[in-house]
Structure 1
Amino acid sequence: MRKPVELIANQDAAVTAVWPTDRQAALFFWLFLIGHCLAWIVVPSLTQPNGTLDAIEMIYWGHEWELGYYKHPPLPAWLAESASWLGGNTVWPTFVLAQISTAACFWAVFMIGRDIGGNRFALLAVLLLESCYYYNFTTTEFNNNVTSRGFCAAAVALVYFAMTRERLHYWALSGVAIGCGMLSKYDTALFAIIMLAFSIVHPRGREAWKTAGPFVLLATSGLCFAPHLYWLVQNDFPTIDYLLRRSDDGETTLISHVLEPLEFLLSQIWAIAPLLILSIPVTGLWWKKRTNLSEKASFQRDFVLWFGLGPVLLVMAVTMLTGGDVRSMWGAKIWTFTGLALLSSVQIQGSLVEFQKVCRRCVLAGGIAIIALLGRNLVVPHFRDHGSRVHFPGKALATVARDAYEAEVGEAPKVIGGPWWDAANVAVLGDQRATVFANLDPSISPWASDQFLKENGGVIVWQPKLIRGSYAAEVRERFPKAIFIDPVELDWETPAKLEPILFQIAIVKPEPASQKVVKVSDASGGGNVVVR
């Protein structure tokens, strides 16, 4: 049986002349990868004056360098904090991080694809992935989903190399990728489970257990994840509690076990539909299974099928068993290898011209996503009564809060409290990387407390219109010495004529810690030393 790409090669010379050679296809892949990353870094950097919701959250978490946070494992927060610091306390470096992770997905697909059918075949698989919503429009949002997706893709590619090239270092690197993926988001376990299942069910996988490779993978991934596991035990598993609460949308009924997986699948159709539709010229409307495959080709097809379809089937199975709610964005990483699995499993049809058309249309789909982002950032605010998170006046709010505090205390605030979005913007976009006391709640900001804020001093910021009841009364009760400045109105960061945002700011001056007297024997044999 010929490789799928060979069906492309056997065309007349005139058509072949306008199609890139296999070597040129590899070059085109790298040019595409660079162009994709640049576009999705530059466009949001120029059109999004403020950080996205998740990026701001990641950076403020990263300020504290914890081994875990109440929602998620720590790695994305560490990366976001490091990148923001290197970028001069800005948010745009998170766009770079998001594209590095996305590029890892494209790289993984290309590297496996070229081994299956050559560079042109791999290029087609990558460009089909470009048409998927999760790999273009949503990549401006740096978060745990984006980070873990890149590590999962890299882990799959490295396991493939480990099984086909039989080199121990690929197993070790795959273990590191799985460990880092688990340090990003726990649903990386989906891919780990599929790896384990494949190694048990498939004959080639069982052969691997006769070597040290899988054990090296387990060891390296375990070492990466161990510090966070220790943190989980020490802190009574707060992330697991959050996950269970997030997936519980009320009383689970018998019908939930059917409706929830169906709702999740329906929510994914709009993400995967462009890939399936654009592939029709080369796969046909009615797919024909590849047959009479060699042992190598059969393994390659089986491998990408497991990782192309396995994640979504596993999510569906878990949802069916639990009846729990699964958010649509939790599907962000499950489609990475679906296009490659499709191309590897069905007979490729059509001529080179049709292949060219598919590639062009996929690139066009990516361009449309860029235009959609421009429309959302530049046009949509003119038709709404408020801006989005990326139009929030975070930098202006940080300046106002800092100036107000410096006028009273003479230095920059060390702690920023209040509803997490407002407080985090001040801390992340301010000149000094202050600690965030999110929601004034120690359960989600265990590094802070009322006493910590009183001793170190800081500001509390909030939007009165968004809070029911009197937030000011709560602040006065908990911080009796707080100084309230006049409310401040700030404009959205957009030319659209929108109602300004009203902010309230309270200043908490630092209070010296209570004195403690301890007896210390000095050189003369006595004396009290006062320690603050």
Structure 2
Amino acid sequence: MLRVPQGIPVTLLLLLLFSAVWLAHLDSVALTPPADNIEQLTWMRSLEWGYYKHPPVPTWVLWAAVQLIGWSAWTTYLLGALLTLASLAIFASLLRDIHGRAYALVGLMAALGVTFYNGRLNYYNHNVVLMFWVALSAWLWWRILTRPRWGWWLALGVVGGLGMLSKYQYAVAATGGLWLFVRHGLWRDRQQCQGLALAVVVGGVIFMPHVVWLLEQARGPIAYAMHSSLGADLPLLRRLSATALWLLDWLFNRCLPAVLLLLGVHWAQRGLAPVPLESSADRALQARGNSLLLCWGVLPPAFMAAMGVLGGVDLQLQWGTAFALWTVPVLMAALGVREATLRAGRGLCWAVGALVLLQAVLVWQSYDTSVFGRHRTQVGHWREFPSEALAQAVAGPARQALGGPIKIISGPASPAGALALRLPEKPRVLIDGDLAVSPWISAQDMERDGVLELWPPGAGPSDVHRVMDGWGWRVREGDGVGSDFF
């Protein structure tokens, strides 16, 4: 029987080992960093109150990290992993407070199997940042439900404001908090009502400058969301089928390794009767904790499924990133996993063995379907984009044509950003040649520095120079280039 060591930071050791294995692996099988990371490295060239696709906090956080460790793909890898691991650590801490050490360790091992957090550990985007605020909000609500103080409400307001400045989907977590407020009768306590009002005011003050920015934009995050997913207005049958597939993907694709691990723990615990809690106070405290875990685990997918069915929204698979780990305690409750039976039986031993086996399988599957594996995916994956080879093919002739270093690249956001990452000049990217969505570049910059234009295969004017895979390039020299663009 395996026991949870006392006084040893098992959670920390597990998370560090997990991150070391996965970050090294993900870097080794990718020719190009994730497109979302590239997007953030492009945007952080200027600090704005918003960007054409998303609110600003993820970009601000990356800007701060770049000042410390430099502008590179690894800065985004480390930052994304840090926020993911911090979210998982908060998650484990909350499970330990509610149910105990062994329960928390099994829950963490199951959560590490969710493929949002292993195969995408090197991702840095608004979903990853939102996941941190969602986890921190759950921890703060636990404190509010058990040890109410003004400080928790103030912190919740700050987290709420920053959450909305990271992704508007934080509204789902805010809705969950309001449900807890009503469910546990906090509205009957005047101090708690004042605390909620404080949190709303603080969050609103933090979020308001972005609202003002939104009102001034012809193209902004809301317009982008309406164009890409919220405004899809799918027909009824399509809504039902797409929502069902989205839920199935959440539970039996993204969470499948977690489900398998917990089923094994359930099997290992068969025949063991759970030990009842000693006092009514313990039972009441755990009931509040279970209510919070159920809220965080069930409300987000239910809320988004309702958006799909009732609103015709085109649900995006990655929308589960911030919330999928909270599915784990719901599964644990459904399977009857208990702290006492974990300590008394073989469940913890099984979980450790299953963790090692499942993580090994996931690493192998990731390698085997990569450009280096035997079963490379039929549809080209972004990580296979040959950015280094493209940079070598373009950089020398482009510098010669410009008469100097490459300072601005114009073209599709992800390929142009990937090319910029491979060049020592670290040029800025003019997204799709559009100054309106690239506030870090001005017309004067283009006139002064010249521009390297990158064209996808089959696109571009007749004077484009074609290189590998049909990609094309041409330059517009500085000192008077403005008239060629406007």
The two structures have a TM-score, normalised by structure 2, of 0.86
Shift of 1:237: 5.9
| More displaced 10-residue stretch of structure 1: 406-415 or 133-142 | 406-415
Q: Which residue identity does 2:175 align to in structure 1?
A: I
Q: Which residue matches 1:339?
A: 328
Tell whether 2:256 aligns with 1:277.
no
Matched length: 472
CA contact (8 A) 2:46 2:439 kept: no
1:306-359 CA deviation, whole Å, 9 max, x = no partner? 111111111122222202210112122222222224435746357421331023
Match of 1:393 among 381, 386, 398: 386
Q: Which residue matches 1:302?
A: 291
Aligned 1:92-103 pairs, distance under 5 A? 92-103=74-85
Q: Which residue matches 2:116?
A: 134
User: 1:460 is paired with a residue of what secondary structure?
Assistant: strand
Q: Which residue matches 1:223?
A: 205
Shift of 1:403: 3.4
Tell whether 2:248 aligns with 1:266.
yes
Tell whether 2:309 aligns with 1:320.
yes
- Compared with structure 1, are the counterparts of its residues 218 and 428 closer, same or farther at alpha carbon in structure 2 (3 Å cutoff)? farther
Shift of 1:103: 0.9
Shift of 1:98: 1.5
| More displaced 10-residue stretch of structure 1: 161-170 or 439-448 | 439-448
CA contact (8 A) 2:181 2:187 kept: yes
Q: Distance in 2 between matches of 1:428 and 1:85?
A: 16
Q: Which residue matches 1:20?
A: 4
Aligned 1:371-386 pairs, distance under 5 A? 371-377=364-370, 379-380=372-373, 383=376
Q: Which residue matches 2:406?
A: 413
Q: Indicate the percent of aligned positions where both proteins have the same amino acid.
A: 23
Q: Distance in 2 between matches of 1:46 and 1:118?
A: 37
Q: Distance in 2 between matches of 1:382 and 1:131?
A: 22
Q: Which residue identity does 2:180 align to in structure 1?
A: F
CA contact (8 A) 2:446 2:481 kept: no
- Compared with structure 1, are the counterparts of its residues 216 and 431 closer, same or farther at alpha carbon in structure 2 (3 Å cutoff)? farther
Tell whether 2:26 aligns with 1:44.
yes
CA contact (8 A) 1:464 1:504 kept: yes
The two structures have a TM-score, normalised by structure 1, of 0.79
Match of 2:430 among 418, 429, 437: 437
Shift of 1:59: 0.8
CA contact (8 A) 1:104 1:154 kept: no
Match of 1:354 among 341, 347, 350: 347
- Compared with structure 1, are the counterparts of its residues 400 and 213 closer, same or farther at alpha carbon in structure 2 (3 Å cutoff)? farther
- Compared with structure 1, are the counterparts of its residues 36 and 176 closer, same or farther at alpha carbon in structure 2 (3 Å cutoff)? farther
Q: Distance in 1 between matches of 2:475 and 2:138?
A: 51
1:99-132 CA deviation, whole Å, 9 max, x = no partner? 1121122112211111112222211111111121
Q: Which residue matches 1:239?
A: 221
CA contact (8 A) 2:96 2:104 kept: yes
Q: Which residue matches 1:197?
A: 179
1:353-382 CA deviation, whole Å, 9 max, x = no partner? 133102321343233222223333353377
Q: Which residue matches 2:419?
A: 426
- Compared with structure 1, are the counterparts of its residues 45 and 254 closer, same or farther at alpha carbon in structure 2 (3 Å cutoff)? closer
Q: Which residue matches 1:74?
A: 56
Q: Distance in 2 between matches of 1:206 and 1:101?
A: 36
Q: Distance in 2 between matches of 1:461 and 1:158?
A: 47
CA contact (8 A) 2:406 2:452 kept: yes
1:441-483 CA deviation, whole Å, 9 max, x = no partner? 3454355577763454111012334x3xxx115xx7xxxxxxx
| More displaced 10-residue stretch of structure 1: 124-133 or 415-424 | 415-424
Shift of 1:212: 4.2
CA contact (8 A) 1:131 1:363 kept: no
Shift of 1:65: 2.4
1:212-243 CA deviation, whole Å, 9 max, x = no partner? 43233223322332332221111146211111
- Compared with structure 1, are the counterparts of its residues 46 and 80 closer, same or farther at alpha carbon in structure 2 (3 Å cutoff)? farther
User: 2:99 is paired with a residue of what secondary structure?
Assistant: helix
Shift of 1:177: 2.5
**Greater Rg over alpha carbons, structure:** 1
Q: Which residue matches 1:504?
A: 472
- Compared with structure 1, are the counterparts of its residues 509 and 33 closer, same or farther at alpha carbon in structure 2 (3 Å cutoff)? same
Q: Distance in 2 between matches of 1:370 and 1:82?
A: 31
Q: Which residue identity does 2:4 align to in structure 1?
A: P
User: 1:511 is paired with a residue of what secondary structure?
Assistant: coil
Q: Which residue matches 2:141?
A: 159
Q: Distance in 2 between matches of 1:375 and 1:180?
A: 39
- Compared with structure 1, are the counterparts of its residues 301 and 216 closer, same or farther at alpha carbon in structure 2 (3 Å cutoff)? same
Q: Distance in 2 between matches of 1:257 and 1:502?
A: 38
Q: Distance in 1 between matches of 2:291 and 2:203?
A: 24
Q: Distance in 1 between matches of 2:247 and 2:186?
A: 31
Tell whether 2:42 aligns with 1:53.
no
CA contact (8 A) 2:371 2:384 kept: no
Q: Which residue identity does 1:505 align to in structure 2?
A: W
CA contact (8 A) 2:225 2:231 kept: no
Q: Which residue identity does 1:173 align to in structure 2?
A: A
User: 1:131 is paired with a residue of what secondary structure?
Assistant: coil
Q: Which residue identity does 2:473 align to in structure 1?
A: I
Q: Distance in 2 between matches of 1:396 and 1:208?
A: 65
Q: Structure 2: state its 5+ residue gaps.
A: none
- Compared with structure 1, are the counterparts of its residues 363 and 430 closer, same or farther at alpha carbon in structure 2 (3 Å cutoff)? same
| More displaced 10-residue stretch of structure 1: 449-458 or 295-304 | 449-458
- Compared with structure 1, are the counterparts of its residues 250 and 372 closer, same or farther at alpha carbon in structure 2 (3 Å cutoff)? same
CA contact (8 A) 1:281 1:355 kept: no
CA contact (8 A) 1:415 1:453 kept: yes
- Compared with structure 1, are the counterparts of its residues 387 and 304 closer, same or farther at alpha carbon in structure 2 (3 Å cutoff)? closer
- Compared with structure 1, are the counterparts of its residues 396 and 258 closer, same or farther at alpha carbon in structure 2 (3 Å cutoff)? closer
CA contact (8 A) 1:395 1:426 kept: yes
